[in-house]
């Protein structure tokens, strides 16, 4: 996990650590336990859990609001299109970040990505209030929503790459916090969608009001993520490991010199060779998962009894057991 995280982070300083991934860990191991800063109230863990939850929240928000989008745009495969656009844009942007992230800092990329997430979530209720107004079949609104999904894919690449990279340079419990947070994101959004859908009448106005409240709460959660991200580096436990990282980087520079283009490319391909089988496993898992989720279970299976609740309950079941699996 640590090596993978450092790859995704991609900062020049982080990359220097890649050729000697145990430097920081070894230095920490050599420090007496009584000198290691405490994670008071487990606040650093909570921050990384929240960030893990945050960077998947917009994706979960859009696919779990399938009942709202299916009502507005009945003639298109909403979740299938959302999934393809989000994943393709996210993949391309993440590859570009890996290749060119030496020219930027992950702290800035994460802030930019979180701000883009807020903008994307804000588009849906604003567009409903000023343009759609509950009308069915205004497909210009659908095209805007698809563009918003592409924006979310870009934001996901910016945030996920930085958060996993940062967690990969900390003790393992913080990577576990991020992974558990991603699963909790789906559960949170599913429960939120159920609650907002249940408190309003089951008609067009109720569907519209519940969706607007649902996206509004999502915006608040993303704002909390921005605050947490900007607080994290000030915590003693995070500062401690950042100082170890800086020390390792300086030692690496003294030993090997600056990370020039040829050295960078050699280091990158060396890392790819070391993690290729893990990466292949992840690719296969995502291929199987995304071939049926969310498109198939939200569009190809139906219930006369549960009606438009059926897809929401199916997604909720998926997310609950995703959390169970990642926790185990």
Percent of the chain scoring above 90 in pLDDT: 38
Report the SS3 class of residue 18.
helix
Asked whether the predicted pLDDT for residue 18 surpasses 70, the reply is: no
C-beta pairs of 209-214 under 8 Å, 24+ apart in sequence: 210/68, 211/65, 211/68, 211/124, 211/125, 211/128, 212/124, 212/125, 212/128, 212/129, 214/61, 214/65
| Best CA proximity match to 63, nearest among 324, 316, 320 | 316
Nearest 5 degrees, angle CA 157-CA 226-CA 183? 60
What's the DSSP call for residue 102? G
Q: What is the pLDDT of residue 143?
A: 95
Domains of the chain: 2-327 (1.20.1250.20)
Q: How far is CA 199 from CA 133, 193, 202, 207, 294, in A?
A: 20, 10, 9, 10, 25
Which pLDDT band, with edges at 50, 70 and 90, does 261 fall under? low
Q: Please give the average per-residue pLDDT across 95-100, as a whole number.
A: 86
For residue range 276-313, list pLDDT tens digits in order.
999 999 889 888 887 877 767 766 777 788 877 888 88
| Exposed / middle / buried, residue 79 (Cβ in 10 Å: 0-12, 13-18, 19+) | buried
Whole-angstrom distance, CA of residue 222 vs CA of residue 53: 9
Q: What is the pLDDT of residue 52?
A: 93
| Best CA proximity match to 68, nearest among 132, 160, 158 | 132
Which pLDDT band, with edges at 50, 70 and 90, does 33 fall under? low
Q: What is the CA 325 to chain-centroid distance, rounded?
A: 18
Asked whether the predicted pLDDT for residue 22 surpasses 60, the reply is: no
Report the SS3 class of residue 194.
helix
CA count, 13 A, side-chain hemisphere, 196? 25
Q: What is the pLDDT of residue 7?
A: 37
Note the helical H segments in the chain. 2-9, 12-18, 23-29, 43-64, 66-72, 78-100, 106-127, 139-168, 172-198, 204-232, 236-256, 261-292, 295-299, 309-327
Report the SS3 class of residue 62.
helix
Query: Residue 294: is the preceding peptide bond cis (ω within 30°)?
Result: yes
What's the DSSP call for residue 258? S
Q: What is the pLDDT of residue 256?
A: 67
Query: Which has more pLDDT, 92 or 203?
Result: 92
Q: Which of 35-39, 148-152, 186-190 has the highest mean pLDDT?
A: 148-152
Which pLDDT band, with edges at 50, 70 and 90, does 98 fall under? confident
Whole-angstrom distance, CA of residue 156 vs CA of residue 148: 12
Residue found under tokens 């003294």? 254
Residue found under tokens 């990466």? 279
Percent of the chain scoring above 70 in pLDDT: 87
For residue range 183-197, list pLDDT tens digits in order.
898 898 888 888 888
Q: What is the pLDDT of residue 226?
A: 96
Q: What is the pLDDT of residue 17?
A: 35
């Amino acid at each position: 996990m640590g090596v993978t995280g450092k790859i995704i982070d991609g900062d020049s300083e982080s990359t220097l650590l890649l050729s000697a991934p145990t430097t920081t860990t070894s230095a920490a191991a050599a420090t007496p336990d009584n000198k290691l800063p405490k994670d008071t109230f487990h606040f650093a863990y909570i921050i990384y859990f929240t960030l893990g939850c945050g960077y998947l929240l917009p994706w979960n928000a859009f696919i779990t609001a399938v009942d709202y989008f299916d009502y507005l745009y009945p003639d298109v495969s909403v979740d299938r299109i959302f999934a393809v656009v989000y994943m393709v844009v996210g993949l391309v942007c993440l590859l570009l970040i890996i290749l060119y992230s030496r020219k930027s800092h992950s702290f800035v990329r994460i802030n930019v990505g979180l701000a883009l997430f807020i903008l994307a979530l804000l588009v849906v209720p604003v567009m409903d209030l000023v343009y759609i107004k509950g009308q069915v079949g205004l497909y210009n609104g659908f095209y805007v929503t698809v563009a918003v999904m592409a924006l979310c894919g870009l934001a996901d690449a910016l945030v996920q790459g930085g958060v996993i990279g940062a967690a990969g340079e900390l003790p393992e419990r913080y990577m576990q916090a991020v992974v558990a947070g991603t699963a909790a994101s789906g559960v949170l959004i599913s429960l939120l969608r159920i609650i907002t859908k249940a408190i309003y009448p089951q008609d067009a106005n109720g569907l519209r009001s519940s969706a607007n409240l649902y996206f509004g709460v999502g915006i608040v959660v993303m704002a909390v993520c921005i605050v947490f991200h900007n607080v994290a580096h000030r915590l003693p436990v995070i500062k401690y490991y950042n100082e170890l990282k800086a020390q390792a980087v300086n030692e690496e520079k003294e030993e090997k010199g600056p990370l020039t283009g040829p050295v960078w490319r050699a280091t990158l391909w060396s890392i790819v060779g070391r993690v290729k089988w893990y990466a292949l496993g992840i690719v296969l898992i995502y291929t199987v998962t995304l071939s049926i989720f969310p498109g198939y279970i939200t569009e190809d299976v139906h219930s006369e009894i549960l009606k438009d609740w059926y897809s929401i309950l199916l997604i909720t079941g998926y997310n609950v057991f995703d959390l169970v699996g990642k926790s185990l």
